[in-house]
């Protein structure tokens, strides 16, 4: 058969592990949304980061492929329930916060 593929992490840890402001914010998120550990916060931040980076890339580019990526990304934001309105703009994608992503979780209290 083949070798099993190498699984990659789906999150990125903070650069500095002991920042009190970040730790306090994460503690509030854990309490509000009933998370098991901080890794779940980092996974949701990675989801949010992916959309913001894609939005920045689409704003910078101005060709036909960028328009396709723009429409696909905005449709995906709507289908995932991260935005309420059907006609989403790129500004809405850039203004998303971690709370928008956390509200979509089943574990939300």
pTM for the complete prediction? Answer: 0.87
What's the CA dihedral at 22, 56, 77, 71 to 10 degrees?
Answer: 180
Mean pLDDT in residue range 38-43: 97
Residue 106: pLDDT band (50, 70, 90) is confident
What is the rounded distance in angstroms from the CA atom of residue 41 to the CA atom of residue 21? 15
CA distances from 70 to 4, 44, 60, 66 (A): 34, 21, 11, 6
Helix (H, G, I), strand (E, B) or coil at 17: coil
Q: Which residue has the tokens 């723009």?
A: 70
pLDDT digits (tens, 9 = 90+) for 61-74: 989 999 999 999 99
Q: pLDDT class for 1, splitting at 50, 70, 90?
A: low
Model confidence at 109: pLDDT above 70: no
């Amino acid at each position: 058969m083949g070798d099993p593929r190498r699984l990659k992490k789906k999150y990125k840890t903070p650069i500095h592990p002991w920042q009190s402001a970040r730790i306090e914010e994460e503690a509030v998120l854990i309490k509000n949304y009933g998370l098991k550990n901080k890794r779940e916060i980092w996974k949701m931040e990675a989801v949010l980061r992916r959309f913001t980076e894609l939005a920045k890339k689409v704003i910078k580019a101005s060709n036909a492929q960028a328009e396709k990526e723009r429409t696909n990304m905005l449709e995906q934001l709507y289908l995932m329930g991260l935005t309420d309105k059907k006609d989403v703009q790129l500004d809405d994608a850039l203004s998303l916060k971690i709370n928008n992503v956390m509200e979509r979780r089943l574990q939300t209290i």
